[in-house]
Structure 1
Amino acid sequence: MASKVYWADLRADFHENLQQKLTRLMKTAGMGEIDFDRKFVAIKMHFGEPGNLAFLRPNWAKTVADFVKERGGKPFLTDCNTLYVGGRKNGLDHLDTACLNGFNPMTTGCQVIIADGIKGSDEVAVPVVGGRLVKEAKIGRAVMDADVFISLTHFKGHEEAGFGGALKNIGMGCGSRAGKMEQHNAGKPHVNHEHCVGCGMCTRICAHSALSVAERKANIDHSRCVGCGRCIAICPRNAIQIDWDETVTNLNRKIAEYSKAVVDGRPCFHISLVIDVSPNCDCHAENDAAIVPNVGMFASFDPVALDMACVDAVNAQPVMRGSAADGGDVHDHDHFHRIHPETDWMSCLEHAEKIGIGTRAYELIKI
């Protein structure tokens, strides 16, 4: 049976502004049917990397948080730390970045909590029912402590997953540092000796005695390493790295399985804003020009149907002249595949459907 996906365009006038329109979308889509009263509500979103301007404005987050608070809930905005070098590598830098990009209690009406803690190691091992590649997902603790889960997603392209939609926001975004490593990497971290200065900070942080320093260079004993990623966070020279060696198909399937770990067993709702559709992830310290015109706001209880509806809506749009999607194979009407031809985004939706998260079949209802 097809899932219902609700859609609103971005037209507005003095009768109703865009934030009010989003509120009407959430009401019409049934988000108000969730029991929020005295419940902790995680609103998962991306706070943007410094230098990137495509991420969702905090005004959108406030609209969602206010909706929850009006129904007695206790919302908080959340995300997990990253593996790569940047403004969100640890909990403190992550909070600084969120604040720099406008996310604070004054602008959003709720607190910001980095779900996997200061060093990216505050996680919960969550069984993945029906998982084929992941048996236990490593999810940021604050995400799993919430009674209700809401994803608020900026829909855009992605250089590895094909596009970044609700499932990418949930699965990869809610993974702790070790969880992100598991999704991206079939192995364990290694030391780039060109960057290492032998300071020994990694040896002090490792709980498994996997790191040692010899001749002013650190080395990792992979027979002891458990892949927690704490050494990646602590290294002051960014010398400890992973190989981004998982296949794009397996990456997408792991994203689906991590998503199932997050959404199983509690009320969830999903919102995607198809605006400023940049070709790459908001994790970049820059954003390229939008590849299509802005489309609108989408909402559903089913994240699989939501992603399918959003990608169909993007592919139905004309390409913006001069953007990354302008050119390439003109016969390829999949804008995301045209930009990133090595990706395999459908594998995520197919696998998510197979393991019971939702369905790719949807009924699009315009409000």
Structure 2
Amino acid sequence: MSKSKVYFTNFRTTLQENQLQKLARLVKAAGMLEHIQFKDRYAAIKIHFGEPGNMAFLRPNYSKVLVDLIREQGGRAFLTDCNTLYVGGRKNALDHLDAAYTNGYSPFSTGCHVIIADGLKGTDETLVPVENGEYVKEAKIGHAIMDADIIISLNHFKGHEATGFGGALKNIGMGCGSRAGKMEMHSAGKPFVDQALCVGCGFCQKNCAHGAITITSRKASIDHNKCVGCGRCIGACPMDAVSAPGDESNDILNRKMAEYSWAVLHGRPHFHVSLVVDVSPYCDCHAENDVPIVPDVGMFASFDPVALDMACADAVNAQTPLKGSVLDEVEHCHHDHFTDVHPTTNWKSCLEHAEKLGIGTTDYELITI
């Protein structure tokens, strides 16, 4: 496989060009408008809206640049994400929309609508066969994402406590999974009930299609011999008493994430933009964010999400740690900023598996504009 082209520009501006205009120029230079036919087609812009309380998420101004370019070409763009597996401010579509609007992602600020791809409770999914999948045979992807004609990912590149970093592949693979899909990536086992939180309301039992849930003495329990791991009970519980075990190894989590990325991207036009800005040590799913671990680097764009993630990782690792950050306080023994911050992670396992699946290549040519 030949080198993939990754386009880059820093955040420096002039009196004639601001950051948003520079982003538009980057996307055009990378060929998004030239190589993708947007006219009369639905374009899903996959983005993380930010957990309420977190301030490191991407500003909605960046997404409007992509929306405007797509609409100028006659395309129909929408911003999208799927509900979270964990308890928080984006666990159902109503709370998720509230979070998006609170963080500035409204039709008035971005020029397009927000659609939560896996529906009200995270159960609106499409089963997508994964050819040559070693860990996933059928990926569970948010239905609206699979309905789209084109996939555009707009990624906040930052650290992550389980995958090492979050970039294009995580935004696509983990982010496009329904609640059951996220559980499949995170877990080797099946959901369980926290008896202290359960009030025996029966909503989980009503939503179980396999008769796996019983209620005794006003407490629910799950028979794992009958449970198929669909995750519907997690979304149905009003007390957040049902949880996924979260017992999958980080390496297998990364490889499953790569297989989910394949399911989302295979057979459809796609393009990817990553902003290496406010590089927090943890995911934007946290309701808080720590100080950035390195200085802001710039904006990257490519048709190849594997090459894009590799280029962003190399760019971050070339930076000097910021004083007072978590990275500044840890021992630098791994020659890798992400592994220094999260020693139990191995971000390369995702890229290596994605390369094996044919999603892209880690061999890239960096073109600076």
Q: Which TM-score bucket, shorter chain as reference?
A: over 0.9
What is residue 19 of structure 2 aligned with on the other side? 18
- Please name the residue that 1:228 is paired with: 230
Q: Which residue pairs with 1:187 in the alignment?
A: 189
| Paired amino acid for 1:10 | F
Equivalent of 1:302 in 297, 304, 311: 304
CA distance in structure 1 between the partners assigned to 2:334 and 2:115 by the alignment: 41
Q: Are positions 1:4 and 2:27 aligned together?
A: no
Conserved? CA contact 2:46–2:81, under 8 Å? yes
Give the counterpart letter for 2:284 in structure 1: D
Alignment match, 2:292: 290
Match of 1:111 among 113, 134, 141: 113
Deviation at 1:64, TM superposition (A): 0.7
Q: Mapping of 1:190-339 within 5 angstroms?
A: 190-339=192-341
The one-letter code sitting in structure 1 at the alignment partner of 2:44 is A
Letter in 2 for 1:78: T
Matched letter for residue 19 of structure 2: L
Give yes or no for contact 2:199–2:218 (8 Å, CA) kept in 1. Answer: yes
Tell me by how many angstroms 1:125 deviates.
Answer: 0.6
Q: Counterparts of 1:26-41 in structure 2 under 5 Å? A: 26-33=27-34, 34-41=36-43
Letter in 1 for 2:11: L
Q: Name the CA distance, whole Å, in 1 between partners of 2:203 and 2:327.
A: 44
User: Is this contact kept in 1: 2:333–2:340, CA < 8 A?
Assistant: no
Counterpart in 2 of 1:143? Answer: 145
Conserved? CA contact 2:203–2:236, under 8 Å: yes
CA deviations 1:165-205 (Å, max 9, x no partner) are 10000000000000000000011101111111212121122
Q: CA deviation at 1:285?
A: 0.1
Matched letter for residue 27 of structure 2 = M
- Quote the Cα distance in structure 1 between the aligned partners of 2:261 and 2:244: 22
Cα distance in structure 1, aligned partners of 2:332 and 2:128:
43
Runs of 4+ more than 3 Å apart: none
- Out of 323-332 and 341-350, give the one that drifted further: 323-332
Aligned to 2:175: 173
Greater shift in the superposed pair: 209-218 or 115-124: 209-218
- Cα distance in structure 2, aligned partners of 1:76 and 1:197: 38
- Residues 43-81 of structure 1, C-alpha deviation per residue, up to 9 Å, x if partnerless? 000000000000000000101111110111000000000
Give identity over the alignment, percent. 66
Aligned residue type for 2:277? I
Deviation per CA, 1:29-49, whole angstroms, max 9, x where unpaired? 000121000000000000000
Q: What letter is aligned with 2:244?
A: I
Letter in 2 for 1:24: R
Contact 2:176 2:264 in 1 (8 A): yes
In the TM superposition, what whole-angstrom CA distance separates every residue of 1:220-247 from its partner, at most 9, and x where no partner exists?
Answer: 1222222221211121221111111000
CA distance, structure 1, for counterparts of residue 317 and residue 15 of structure 2: 31
Distance in 1, Cα, partners of 2:333 & 2:339: 11
**Correspondence for 1:92:** 94
| Uncovered stretches (5+) of structure 2, i.e. residues with no partner | none
Please name the residue that 2:352 is paired with. Answer: 350
Deviation at 1:258, TM superposition (A): 0.3
Superposed displacement of residue 332, structure 1: 2.8
- Once the two structures are TM-superposed, the CA of residue 14 in structure 1 deviates from its matched residue by 1.8
CA–CA distance in 2 between the matches of 1:230 and 1:125?
Answer: 15
* Equivalent-residue separation in structure 1 for 2:107 and 2:240 (angstroms): 32
Q: Secondary structure at the match of 1:320?
A: coil
Q: RMSD of the TM alignment (CA)?
A: 0.8
SS in 2 for 1:53: coil
| Residue 214 of structure 1: how far off its partner (Å) | 0.2
Equivalent residue letter for 1:5: V
Alignment partner of 1:58 out of 57, 60, 85: 60
Residue 198 of structure 1 aligns to a residue in which SS?
Answer: coil
Aligned length: 367
1:70 maps to which residue?
Answer: 72
2:365 corresponding residue in structure 1: 363
Residue identity in the other structure for 1:253: R
- 1:157 matched to 2:159: yes
Question: Take 1:245 and 1:205, find their aligned partners in 2: how far apart are those partners?
Answer: 24
Q: Distance in 1 between matches of 2:100 and 2:232?
A: 22
SS in 2 for 1:265: coil
Unaligned runs of 5+ in 1: none
User: CA–CA distance in 2 between the matches of 1:219 and 1:168?
Assistant: 32
